Amino acid sequence: MEDFEKDAGELDDIADREELRSRYELLLQEIRVSLPGVQILLAFLLTAPFSQRFGDVDSWGRAAYGIALGSSLVSVVCLLTPTVLHRFGARTARLVWSIRLEVAGLLALAVALVAATWGVSRYVFNSAVGWTVTGGAVALFLVCWVALPRRLRRRWHSTHLDT
């Protein structure tokens, strides 16, 4: 089996050193793409309570705000941790945990975006519009972040493992 067909946990820390290094660098590149957006979202959420109209937000809006704030913070921590782990521990373990943390960070980002979308659209328009817009956002996440990757992975496996 070629190295690129192995899961990260199947790679040997010594024998597959270059492959592990390459995958880790690719992972860090992926994180560099998503992290700035999450940090900007968190920054806006941290400043929102200081705006004049934040006092007008009802308890449901505050709950959505709290979920968005907490989830974006979790996302930032999860997406930054692979850079902290970069110099510590066995290469294989670092890569496996970094991939897990990237996935957790992206899931937390999805939760933060959905909660913020619901809270803002409900506040600006009304509850019905808020649920409609949020339902569309959830559907988009499910298609782009769940269904499409699964389909591509299934197609890749059927093409490469049947040969």
Instruction: Return the pLDDT at 2.
Output: 44
> pLDDT at position 3, please?
42
- pLDDT for 138 beyond 70: yes
Supply 57's token pair: 């937000």
- Percent residues over pLDDT 70 in the chain: 87
Amino acid of residue 5: E
Confidence (pLDDT) at 1: 38
Kindly give the residue spans of alpha helices, DSSP state H, lying in 86-163.
Answer: 91-124, 127-141, 148-161
Where does the pLDDT of residue 93 fall: very low under 50, low under 70, confident under 90, or very high at 90 and above? confident
Lowest-confidence range among 115-124, 130-139, 151-160? Answer: 151-160
Domain count for the chain: 1
Mean local confidence (pLDDT), 79-88: 85
The predicted-structure confidence for 47-56, as pLDDT tens digits, reads as follows 999 999 999 9
pLDDT of residue 5: 56
Average pLDDT, the chain: 86
Q: Which domain holds residue 17?
A: 3-161
pLDDT band, very low/low/confident/very high, at 8 (cuts 50, 70, 90): low
The stretch 128-145 carries a mean pLDDT of 95
What is each CA distance from 118 to 123, 124, 138, in whole angstroms? 8, 10, 10
| CA–CA distance, 154 with 9 (Å, rounded to integer) | 20
